[in-house]
C-alpha cells in the first residue's frame, strides 16, 4: 500500500487534472495541501467536463473523501460558488464527502484587492499573479494575523481577528491609495458565509491519521508546479506556497513518511504563465504551434501561456527537490509532426556549462540553454494505449527524457480522455 503525492514538475498546467482523476479512482482520500483557487484542474469524465479550482478532484467521484488541508488558502465565497456549480452538474457534496481543515487560512476580499493593486502598480512589482489574493493571504498567515476557518465559529473571536488584520491592512491600503476596509461590513459578510463553511470544518489531521492507520489510500493533490515553489522556484516570480512534495505532509498534518510515492506531472514541452525567467521559451513559429496544438490558455485566467522546448535540466532539479519516484508524461501528441525537436540539457553561463539553473536572477538572465536536437516523428501518438502504438521516434524521445531527468515514466498520457493512458508503474503499487 502506498500513499501518493502528485505534484506539477514544471510551471504548472502540466495536465494534473486528468492524472489526479485517474489516480483518485484508486484512492480513498484525496487531499489538497497547498495553493488555493489560483489552480485550475479540468476533469473529463464520460464526456462531462468539470472545472475545479479550490475543490479536490476527488469530489466528482462517489465514495471518496475529499479534504482541503491547512496548507491551502481558502476563499469561502468562491468555495460556496464552486460547490454550487459542481452540485448543479449532479455531484453530491456533503460534510461526509468534503472536509476542510479548521486551521485553514481564509482569503478575504481585501487580499484580492491588494494582489491586484500591487500588480497594477509598477512594472517592477508585477509578478503576473492570478489576482486571487493568494500571496496576501499567505503573508497574513505567516504574519499571524490571518482569519482561519475555526475563527468563523465564534463571533467575539472573529471580531478580534478582523481587528488584528485591519491594523496592518488599513495602514498598507492608505499607502496604496485604497479606501480603509469596512470593518462591520466584513464581519457581517463573514457571519453570513460561516454557516455554509463550518459544517465541513474538522480537525482534518485526526481524520487523516485515522485513515492512515486503517490502511486507506491517500492521494495528495498538488497544484501549480515545483518551479513556482516559494523556496525552490524562480523567485520572486513564484506563487506564495511550497509546491514541492514535502509540503504534502506540512499542508495536511501527516508526518513526512505519509507519502511513499511522489509522482511528478511533466509536460512533453514547457509552458509558463505570468512573468519570470523561462530559458527555453520560443518566440517563433514552433512556439506558436505548441500553443495552438496544446490549447495553451489558462483555465483560471484565460491568459495565453508562454511556450518552449522541454527543459530537462529544470525537471531534473524538480525531481531532486521533490524526491520524485516517477513521472506522468503528458501531451506528447502536441509534438507529433515536428520535424526536429529540441531538449535543453543544461545551460551555458559565460562559456561554463551548468547542469542546474543558478539561483541569482542576474546569473539566470545570462544563462543560455544548451540543446540536444532530436529527429521528430510524423505519425500520431494521440490516443495510444500501449508502447506498441507509439512511433519509434516518440519512444526514443520519452526514453531520452527519462535518462536526462533521472526519473522513470510511470504513466504516459496520450489525450485528455482518461483511458488514453499507458501504465508502466502503478504509483499505488498493488
Going by the annotation, the residues of the binding site for IMP are: 13-16, 38-41, 130, 144, 224, 239, 303
- Residue 43 DSSP SS3: strand
Q: Does residue 221 interact with ligand IMP by CB under 6 A?
A: no
Q: Which of residues 231-290 bind ligand IMP (CB under 6 A)?
A: 237, 239-240, 273-274
Q: Which three cell numbers stand for residue 387?
A: 508502447
E-state strands within 268-308: 270-272, 306-308
Q: Does residue 40 interact with ligand IMP by CB under 6 A?
A: yes
DSSP secondary structure string, 247-262?
HHHHTTT--GGG-SEE
Residue whose CB is less far from ligand IMP, 224 or 381? 224
Count residues near ligand IMP (CB under 6 A): 21
Residue whose CB is less far from ligand IMP, 44 or 127? 127
Q: Does residue 228 interact with ligand IMP by CB under 6 A?
A: yes
Check 141, 169, 212, 325 and give the catalytic one.
141
Contacts of 124 (CB under 8 A, 6+ apart): none
DSSP code for 179? P
141 counts as catalytic? yes
Q: Does residue 130 interact with ligand IMP by CB under 6 A?
A: yes
350 counts as catalytic? no
Binding residue for ligand IMP (CB under 6 A) from 9, 13, 246, 324? 13
DSSP helix, strand, coil percent of the chain (3-state; round to 5)? 35, 20, 40
Residue whose CB is less far from ligand IMP, 240 or 421? 240
53 counts as catalytic? no
Q: Does residue 118 interact with ligand IMP by CB under 6 A?
A: no
Contacts of 234 (CB under 8 A, 6+ apart): 227, 228, 276, 277, 357, 364
Region binding ligand IMP by CB under 6 A among candidate stretches 10-18, 154-162, 311-319, 349-357: 10-18
E-state strands within 4-54: 4-8, 29-32, 41-45, 48-52
User: How many residues are given for the chain?
Assistant: 430
Question: Which residue's Cβ has the minimum distance to ligand IMP?
Answer: 274
Cα(32)–Cα(220) distance, rounded to whole angstroms?
6
* Residues with active-site annotation: 13, 41, 141
Residues within the interface to ligand IMP (CB under 6 A): 11-13, 38-40, 127-130, 132, 134-135, 223-224, 228, 237, 239-240, 273-274
Amino acid at each position: 500500500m502506498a500513499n501518493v503525492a502528485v505534484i506539477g514538475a514544471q510551471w504548472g498546467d502540466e495536465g494534473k487534472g486528468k492524472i489526479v482523476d485517474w489516480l483518485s479512482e484508486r484512492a480513498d482520500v484525496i487531499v489538497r495541501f497547498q495553493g488555493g483557487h489560483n489552480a485550475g484542474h479540468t476533469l473529463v469524465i464520460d464526456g462531462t467536463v468539470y472545472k475545479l479550482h479550490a475543490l479536490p478532484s476527488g469530489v466528482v467521484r462517489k465514495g471518496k473523501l475529499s479534504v482541503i488541508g491547512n496548507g491551502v488558502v481558502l476563499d469561502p465565497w468562491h468555495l460556496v460558488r464552486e460547490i454550487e456549480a459542481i452540485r448543479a452538474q449532479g455531484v453530491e457534496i456533503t460534510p461526509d464527502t468534503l472536509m476542510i481543515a479548521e486551521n485553514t487560512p481564509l482569503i478575504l476580499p481585501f487580499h484580492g484587492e491588494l494582489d491586484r493593486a500591487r500588480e497594477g502598480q509598477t512594472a517592477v512589482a508585477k509578478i503576473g499573479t492570478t489576482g486571487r489574493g493568494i500571496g496576501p493571504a499567505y503573508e497574513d498567515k505567516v504574519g499571524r494575523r490571518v482569519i482561519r476557518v475555526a475563527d468563523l465559529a465564534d463571533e467575539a473571536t472573529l471580531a478580534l481577528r478582523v481587528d488584528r488584520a485591519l491594523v496592518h491592512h488599513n495602514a498598507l491600503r492608505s499607502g496604496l491609495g485604497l479606501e480603509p476596509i469596512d470593518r462591520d461590513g466584513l464581519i457581517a459578510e463573514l457571519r453570513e458565509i460561516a454557516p455554509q463553511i463550518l459544517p465541513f470544518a474538522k480537525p482534518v489531521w485526526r481524520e487523516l491519521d485515522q485513515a492512515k492507520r486503517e490502511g486507506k489510500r491517500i492521494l495528495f493533490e498538488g497544484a501549480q508546479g515545483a518551479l513556482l515553489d516559494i523556496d525552490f522556484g524562480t523567485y520572486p516570480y513564484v506563487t506564495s506556497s511550497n509546491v514541492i512534495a514535502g509540503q504534502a505532509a506540512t499542508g495536511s498534518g501527516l508526518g513526512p513518511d505519509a507519502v511513499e510515492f511522489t509522482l511528478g506531472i511533466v509536460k512533453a514541452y514547457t509552458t509558463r504563465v505570468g512573468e519570470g525567467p523561462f530559458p527555453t521559451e520560443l518566440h517563433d513559429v514552433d512556439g506558436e504551434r505548441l500553443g495552438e496544438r496544446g490549447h495553451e490558455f489558462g483555465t483560471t485566467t484565460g491568459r495565453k501561456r508562454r511556450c518552449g522546448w522541454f527543459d530537462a535540466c529544470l525537471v531534473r532539479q524538480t525531481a531532486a527537490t521533490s524526491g520524485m519516484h516517477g513521472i506522468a508524461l503528458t501531451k506528447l501528441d502536441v509534438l507529433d509532426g515536428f520535424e526536429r525537436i529540441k531538449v535543453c540539457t543544461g545551460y551555458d553561463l559565460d562559456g561554463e556549462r551548468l547542469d542546474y539553473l543558478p539561483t541569482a536572477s542576474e546569473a539566470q538572465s545570462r544563462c543560455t540553454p544548451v540543446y540536444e536536437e532530436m529527429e521528430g516523428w510524423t505519425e500520431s501518438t494521440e490516443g495510444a494505449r500501449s508502447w506498441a502504438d507509439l512511433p519509434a521516434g516518440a519512444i526514443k524521445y520519452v526514453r531520452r527524457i527519462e535518462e536526462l531527468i533521472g526519473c522513470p515514466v510511470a504513466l504516459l498520457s496520450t489525450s485528455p480522455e482518461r483511458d488514453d493512458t499507458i501504465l508502466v508503474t502503478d504509483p499505488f503499487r498493488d
